[in-house]
Amino acid sequence: MQIPGYRLKSEIGRGGMANVYLAVQESFDRPVAIKVMNPALAADPTFGKRFIREAKLMAQLSHPHIVPVFDIGAHGNLHYMAMEHIAGGTLKQRLKDGIDEADIERIIMEVAAALDHAGEQDIIHRDVKPDNIMFRADGSAVLMDFGIARPIQGDEAMTQMGTIVGTPKYMSPEQHRGKGVDARADLYSLGVVLFEMLAGRPPYTGEDAMSIGIKHISEPIPLLPGEKRRWQPLVKKLMAKDPEQRFQRGNEVIAALKALSSAAAAVAAGTAPAPAPVKFVDGNTTQIKLESRMRTKDLKEKAGLMSSIYVFDIYVMADDFNQFQGHFEKISEELFNWGKERGKKCGKVKLKATVHPWIAGRVKEYVRNIRKADTHEFLKRIPIEVNLVGADGKPIEQYRIDPDAA
């Protein structure tokens, strides 16, 4: 294979649409990565348009953490673009050995800065994942492969071709639904990457794209390991199911990371102030305030050496849904541990929640979703009794979820 002006040395990457080669750009005598579209695709002008579109999009983005494009062209039936050669490997490769928290913080900040810049240009990447984050020799992170990116307002035919394109393990709920997306979908994917960096595994897995998509759409965000729990609020906001509840820009992620780092440093130095008691005031239809509160108990319902049955009793108060979500993460963890400890002696779960009526439906949805989670499989074989009470003490709803039929 020959491309005028370049001396190809070796293949360094292979994909369905294009291969990547290490080459020397002869005019500058510098190493470059040259991406060459598969010649078999050149017969279809759609693929050529897509390849050129990727190059033009990348050329619009001038940022230290986005790979720069040096050149684009065609020679015979070969479409190509020349980029900076990033020699430090991918985040996917680094995940195998584990990454310390200082590097995690730096990498997420750098990619968030890249996404903020792309968002300012109204460009969505749509495939943020460890394979597409690479490292220069100095260790700085670089966002790669805008092959399925598109402008928010773009050519309709190209949009249709790529509507549900992405990698299921990292796609946002709206991508899995095939809905319109904006830059906040990339921030969700960054949250998935962050979870994997901290936990050593992606938050949701499954046998196929559909099963993974259902989990992204409906399952609660998994809990991080105990020693990484300080990161949970950041992950929760990045991976909010509703884009309106997420960070809206990459710069907001950076600010949150700096605050998290400062708080951790203060705790380590012993200078962190005591947290003030939290009160939540509703601004909609009532002035009743609810203190944040949660209590769980393991109760023996049926005594006996061999036949003891236990009930997990939960009481929670929450003034708004965000507060309930915070409690629910702890409830989810304690239920998981209870199921492991009691095994077949788990007899029933009782949940009483004092909440404002307008979040009662979402509380019910969370209870239903936790029964579907792979990590809480045991909940499908025991009854769950739910008692929802309003902030004024009046009953909202009582119901029972019976075990699934065998």
Catalytic residue numbers read 127
Question: In the sheet that 309-317 helps form, which strands lie side by side, from edge to edge?
Answer: 293-302, 309-317, 346-354, 384-389, 395-401
Tokens at residue 319, please? 């003034």
Tokens at residue 194, please? 């962050």
- Residue 245 backbone phi and psi in degrees, to 5: -90, -5
Question: In the sheet that 30-37 helps form, which strands lie side by side, from edge to edge?
Answer: 6-14, 18-25, 30-37, 78-84, 69-75
DSSP tally for the chain: helices H, then strands E? 11, 16
Give percent helix, percent strand, percent coil of the chain, each to the nearest 5.
Answer: 40, 25, 35
- DSSP per residue over 324-375, as a string? HHHHHHHHHHHHHHHHHHHGGGEEEEEEEEE--GGGHHHHHHHHHHHHHSGG
Q: Report the phi/psi class of residue 267: left, alpha or beta, with left for phi > 0 and alpha for psi in -120 to 50.
A: alpha
Q: What is the DSSP letter of 158?
A: H
| Spatial contact of 331 and 339, defined as CB atoms under 8 Å apart | no
Rounded to whole angstroms, the Cα distance separating 340 from 136 reads 44
Three-state secondary-structure class, residue 321: helix
Residue (of 224, 258, 226, 259) closest to 239 by Cα position: 224
Q: What is the DSSP letter of 66?
A: B
Rounded to whole angstroms, the Cα distance separating 200 from 258 reads 23
Q: Tell me the angle at which helices 250-269 and 101-120 cross, rounded to the nearest 10 degrees.
A: 160
| Spatial contact of 52 and 72, defined as CB atoms under 8 Å apart | yes
Q: Which residue has the tokens 């099963």?
A: 211
